[in-house]
Amino acid sequence: MSTKARWSIYALLLLIALSFRLFIALHLPNDEPDDGRVYSQLARNVLEQHVYSHDTQPPYTPSLIRLPGYPLFLAAIYSISGHNNNTAVRLVQAVLDTGTCALIAWVVFEWAMEEERKHRAAMLALALAAVCPFTAIYVATILTEVPTNFLAVAMVLAATFAFKATVRKRAIKWWIVTGVIAGLAVLFRPDSGLFAAAIGITLMLSSLRRIREATVYAAIFSLAFCVVLVPWTIRNRRVFHVFQPLAPAHAEMPGEFVPRGYLLWVRTWLDDERYVAPALWAMDTRPLRMSDFPDKAFDSEEERDRVAALLNKYNHPDEENEEEQSSSDDEDGEEEEQPAQADDTDVEMTPEIDAGFAQLGKERVARSRLRYYVVLPLKRAMTLWCDTHSQYYPFNGELLPVEDLDHDIHQQYWLPLFAGLTGIYSLLGVIGGWMMWRSRDQNARRWLVLVVLLIFLRLGFLSTLENPEPRYTVEIFPLLIALAGAGLTISHWTGFTRFFQD
């Protein structure tokens, strides 16, 4: 294939990728995520109030509940296009996500073992990335996924150059670049630090025979990574008098109460995204009912009764005061009935109630440590991976049970398609990884180890959380595509790549 023909194919695939993303950005805009509103408010306050605050009205108290990467990204776009122009944000994200597709192809080009198959591998990866609906949908939202994907793949590309460098000076330069990109990625999403950890572990594992040199590179990489976080850490120390290099785990301000006991109890049974909204996001906004929780949340009737009592206190925080007032009125001879007042927002998770849930959680953990530390994380990991990944599409939902599918929005067609695509991308990634391992090529195996660590360190961490939302795993798909492109074009595996024959 001539050079001109190759570049024509690359250009066509990039055009497909950009057109697909522009269509989504313009025709499927989604401003529903609450996180998006917080990010937008932070960006507007930076521009209008000159303070990093998520408050919607004065006095605009400084905030640390979100890292500054994405709000500053939004502020840069708003400063040019208008302070609430989310359409401009979506268009920029469409271009940026197309850039991510190009970076994936570049990574695969560098990973391909044989020179004559480098372009074939890159084209296959670019084609898979261009039409991937799971990553493309996030251009339509005001969320961190698009820049996080871009920086994650850029980090892998920089690490690839660092690993392949044969001159020490060049290797040091690329490890510095990799560390800086890793730090920037963390400023968008704190869990991106797991990508940096995966790269560091791969560096040490692949350099056991040159452990001293590897240690020097790891130190340089780590230092560059940390330097990026220094300004944010110093700011938090000066403003809030706390050491906070990342965002707080539960997006709380210093001194703000976090119901850790309740969250522990939730982690002892929650294994599916369907329970996240009623069990977690409803906290302190509406009453929590026993019907919100499945039977697996209780090991006995006695435990169910204890939870019901705690929820009753949460749903009726003023009940005791009312009873005391009623008793006082009876003693004074005032027996006139008062109309009942119901307010669904008058709920409160107090430290006392939280302590009750903490005791329940500890008892459940002690009763079955295998369930808490092994079974439930595995179930949450399966939930994260095997979801339809249809979030933010108009037909978003769960495939099972089939009888509950909404035919008005055509879920009976779209959700099976998306479930099938999830399986296809996963299968292609697994086959590609297997072929890389079977190649017995040292470099190919190093890339495989890197991707496995990138995926499973993240998946393992997310599976320990009480809110297993599938959108947190969208970064897995570029990695699966990289495995597919690099592995399926190995010389003794041509069935999937016949179209790209020279």
pLDDT digits (tens, 9 = 90+) for 410-467: 999 999 999 999 999 999 999 999 999 998 888 999 999 999 999 999 999 999 999 8
Give a yes or no: residue 110 inside a domain: yes
Q: How far apart are the first and last CA of the chain?
A: 5
Query: What pLDDT sits at residue 326?
Result: 53
Of residues 63, 26, 25, 28, the one with CA closest to residue 44: 63
Q: What secondary structure does DSSP assign to 61-101, as a single string?
A: ----SS-SHHHHHHHHHHHHH-TT-HHHHHHHHHHHHHHHH
Give a yes or no: residue 282 inside a domain: no
Of residues 284, 359, 361, the one with CA closest to residue 315: 284
Contact assessment for residue 70 and residue 149, using Cβ atoms and an 8 Å cutoff: no
Contact assessment for residue 221 and residue 179, using Cβ atoms and an 8 Å cutoff: yes
Is 80 exceeded by the pLDDT of residue 303?
yes
Contact assessment for residue 358 and residue 261, using Cβ atoms and an 8 Å cutoff: yes
Please report, rounded to a whole number, the percentage of residues in the chain having pLDDT higher than 90: 77
What is the pLDDT confidence band of residue 494, given thresholds at 50, 70 and 90? very low
Give a yes or no: residue 498 inside a domain: no
Length of the chain, please? 502
Is 70 exceeded by the pLDDT of residue 364?
yes
Distances 455 to 163, 350, 406, 462 between C-alpha atoms, Å:
19, 38, 33, 11
What is the pLDDT confidence band of residue 327, given thresholds at 50, 70 and 90? low
> Per-residue pLDDT averaged across 357-379, rounded?
96
Of residues 62, 68, 67, the one with CA closest to residue 238: 62
Of residues 24, 40, 16, 12, the one with CA closest to residue 94: 24
pLDDT digits (tens, 9 = 90+) for 186-227: 999 999 999 999 999 999 998 878 889 999 999 999 999 999
Reply yes or no: is the peptide bond before residue 401 cis, omega within 30 of 0: yes
> Per-residue pLDDT averaged across 84-112, rounded?
96
At residue 169, what is the residue type?
Answer: K
Note down the domain range covering 234: 3-248
Our measurement of the distance from residue 267's CA atom to the centroid of its chain's CA atoms, rounded to an integer in Å, reads 18
Contact assessment for residue 436 and residue 483, using Cβ atoms and an 8 Å cutoff: yes
At residue 462, what is the residue type?
Answer: L
Distances 157 to 184, 196, 223, 380, 418 between C-alpha atoms, Å:
15, 13, 19, 30, 28
Give a yes or no: residue 280 inside a domain: no
Q: How far apart are CA 260 and CA 341, in angstroms?
A: 31
> Per-residue pLDDT averaged across 32-49, rounded?
94
Is 60 exceeded by the pLDDT of residue 499?
no
**SS3 (DSSP) at 232:** helix
Contact assessment for residue 468 and residue 378, using Cβ atoms and an 8 Å cutoff: no
What is the pLDDT confidence band of residue 501, given thresholds at 50, 70 and 90? very low
Q: What is the DSSP letter of 500?
A: G
Is 90 exceeded by the pLDDT of residue 482?
yes
What is the pLDDT confidence band of residue 367, given thresholds at 50, 70 and 90? very high
Contact assessment for residue 160 and residue 107, using Cβ atoms and an 8 Å cutoff: yes
Query: What pLDDT sits at residue 322?
Result: 55
Give a yes or no: residue 220 inside a domain: yes
Q: How far apart are CA 93 and CA 89, in angstroms?
A: 6
Q: What is the DSSP letter of 252?
A: P
> Per-residue pLDDT averaged across 42-48, rounded?
96
Q: How far apart are CA 233 and CA 212, in angstroms?
A: 30
Contact assessment for residue 206 and residue 449, using Cβ atoms and an 8 Å cutoff: yes
> Per-residue pLDDT averaged across 84-93, rounded?
96
Contact assessment for residue 450 and residue 159, using Cβ atoms and an 8 Å cutoff: yes
Q: How far apart are CA 353 and CA 155, in angstroms?
A: 44
Which of the residue ranges 307-321, 333-347, 376-390 would you say has the lowest mean pLDDT? 333-347
Of residues 33, 35, 49, the one with CA closest to residue 83: 49
Give the helix ranges, DSSP H, for 131-255: 133-136, 145-164, 168-188, 193-205, 211-240
Locus of tokens 């055009």: 15
> Per-residue pLDDT averaged across 255-261, rounded?
93
Give a yes or no: residue 61 inside a domain: yes
Is 80 exceeded by the pLDDT of residue 331?
no
Q: How far apart are CA 105 and CA 103, in angstroms?
A: 5
Q: What is the DSSP letter of 30?
A: B
Q: How far apart are CA 89 and CA 83, in angstroms?
A: 11
Is 50 exceeded by the pLDDT of residue 389?
yes
Q: Computed over its alpha carbons, how large is the radius of gyration of the chain?
A: 26
Is 50 exceeded by the pLDDT of residue 231?
yes
Is 50 exceeded by the pLDDT of residue 249?
yes
Q: How far apart are CA 302 and CA 363, in angstroms?
A: 13
> Per-residue pLDDT averaged across 343-361, rounded?
88
Give a yes or no: residue 482 inside a domain: no
Report for 317-326, 342-351, 487-496: range of highest mean pLDDT: 342-351
Our measurement of the distance from residue 413's CA atom to the centroid of its chain's CA atoms, rounded to an integer in Å, reads 26
Of residues 94, 84, 90, the one with CA closest to residue 40: 84
What's the total number of domains in the chain? Answer: 1
Give a yes or no: residue 397 inside a domain: no
**SS3 (DSSP) at 141:** strand
Distances 339 to 324, 336, 342, 345 between C-alpha atoms, Å:
17, 10, 10, 18
3-state SS track over 372-385 = HHHHHHHHHHHHHH
What is the pLDDT confidence band of residue 400, given thresholds at 50, 70 and 90? confident
Is 80 exceeded by the pLDDT of residue 493?
no
Query: What pLDDT sits at residue 319?
Result: 65
pLDDT digits (tens, 9 = 90+) for 112-155: 877 778 999 999 999 999 999 999 999 999 999 999 999 999 99
